């Protein structure tokens, strides 16, 4: 096939992918701007010709105290990100650079927990948090990230630290660092691309999580944005255009964050000081 043909096919494939990812978003926006009462069947042309921008303030008002919801969601997301980054990078460092008895077995066990679906551990985990008296607090949303982190991210950090080679860690230790100091002063700054990636994924996952808040949070003053979105559905008369307007509002910070960090996320850093 000619180079031109290859380019054409590639463009077509990318257009198809872009369509698959963008269509739901486009649909969400078009429904969120249509007049009340059309349900999901309204045409985007009608919405474009006569956009009902007032759906947005209405949706916001119907969510309740959106400032409180935003504050709760931000608090949980930011603490989860911080906890996840610290725990996963520390565990990854230990599995990559600290020698201790049973290390490889322990690492295999950590990885094995990836095979267990979250739903399978939901009930024991709930019982555990109930025993600890943490139901209807942010504890169950944050503690798992702070105390365990995700095995997959531990794995990512471990691979990244292994790829840096043993000498940097040896140099740090001979220069006077213990393991903690070496992790904090040398390995963590070098892992910036990993920190951005893991941080972004964690933020998005926590921000968008409905399952955990739904299980643990009952008081309205502890509610999160996703819970508020879900409650649109539960009300007797679902106003689709308001629900999707609210969804668009909740989604906006995620998109903004992604596009701000995208360059960092993709650029990475060149680790050029060590010649292999």
Partner 1 sequence: MARVELKGIAKSYGSSAALAPTSLAIEDGEFVVLLGPSGCGKSTLLRIVAGLLEPSSGEVWLDGELVNERAPRERDVALVFQNYALYPHKTVAGNLAFPLEVRGLARASIEQRVRETAALLGLESLLARKPGELSGGQMQRVALGRALVREPRLFLFDEPLSNLDAATRAELRREIASLHARHRITTLYVTHDQVEALTLGSRVALMRQGKVEQVGTPLEVFRRPANTFVATFLGSPPMNLIPLSIARGGYTLGGLSHRGAPVDQGALVLGVRPHQLELRPASADTLSARVESLERLGGRSALRLSLSDASLVAEVGDELELTPGATVNVAWPPRELHWFDATSGARVEPAP
Q: Which two tokens stand for residue 21?
A: 């990812």
Q: Which string of x and - marks every residue 234-253 that binds partner 1 (by CB under 8 A)? A: --------------------
Shortest spacing between CB 276 and partner 1, in angstroms: 6
* Least distance to partner 1, CB of residue 168, Å: 6
Cα–Cα nearest to 170, from 154, 190, 145, 187? 187
- Min dist CB 57 to partner 1, Å, is 47
Q: How far apart are CA 45 and CA 51, in angstroms?
A: 10
Q: Does 276 bind partner 1 (CB under 8 A)?
A: yes
For residues 173 to 212, the per-residue mask of contacts with partner 1, x marking binding by CB under 8 A and - elsewhere, is xxxxxx--x---xx--xx----------------------
Question: Least distance in Å: CB of 167 to partner 1?
Answer: 4
Cα distance between residue 152 and residue 88, in whole Å: 9
User: What three-state secondary structure class fits 251?
Assistant: helix
| Residues contacting partner 1: total by CB under 8 A | 25
For residue 45, state whether it binds partner 1 (rule: CB under 8 A): no
Residue 274 touches partner 1, criterion: CB under 8 A = yes
**Should residue 264 be labelled a site residue for partner 1 when binding is judged by CB under 8 A?**
no
> How far, in Å, are 44, 50, 120, 123 from residue 133 at the CA level?
49, 52, 21, 15
CA angle, 203 as apex, 197 and 206 as ends, to 5°? 135
Q: Tokens for 193?
A: 């691309």
Interface residues with partner 1 (CB under 8 A)? 165, 167-168, 170-178, 181, 185-186, 189-190, 269-276
């Amino acid at each position: 096939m000619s180079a031109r043909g290859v380019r054409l096919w590639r463009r077509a494939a990318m257009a198809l992918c872009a369509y698959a990812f963008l269509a739901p978003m486009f649909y969400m926006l078009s429904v969120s701007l249509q007049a009340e009462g059309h349900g999901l069947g309204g045409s985007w042309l009608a919405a474009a010709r006569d956009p009902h921008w007032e759906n947005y303030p209405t949706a916001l008002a119907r969510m309740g105290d959106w400032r409180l919801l935003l504050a709760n969601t931000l608090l949980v997301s930011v603490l989860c990100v911080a906890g996840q980054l610290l725990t996963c990078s520390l565990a990854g460092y230990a599995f990559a650079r600290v020698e201790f008895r049973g290390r490889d077995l322990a690492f295999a066990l950590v990885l094995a927990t990836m095979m267990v679906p979250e739903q399978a551990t939901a009930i024991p985990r709930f019982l555990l948090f109930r025993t600890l008296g943490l139901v209807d607090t942010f504890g169950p949303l944050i503690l798992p990230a702070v105390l365990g982190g995700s095995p997959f991210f531990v794995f990512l950090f471990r691979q990244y630290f292994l790829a840096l080679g043993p000498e940097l860690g040896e140099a740090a230790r001979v220069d006077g660092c213990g393991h903690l100091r070496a992790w904090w002063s040398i390995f963590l700054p070098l892992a910036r691309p990993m920190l951005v990636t893991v941080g972004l994924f964690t933020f998005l996952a926590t921000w968008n999580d409905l399952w955990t808040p739904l299980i643990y949070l009952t008081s309205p003053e502890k509610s999160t944005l996703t819970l508020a979105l879900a409650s649109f559905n539960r009300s007797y008369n679902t106003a689709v255009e308001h629900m999707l307007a609210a969804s668009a509002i909740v989604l906006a910070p995620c998109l903004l964050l992604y596009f701000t960090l995208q360059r960092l996320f993709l650029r990475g850093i060149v680790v050029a000081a060590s010649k292999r």
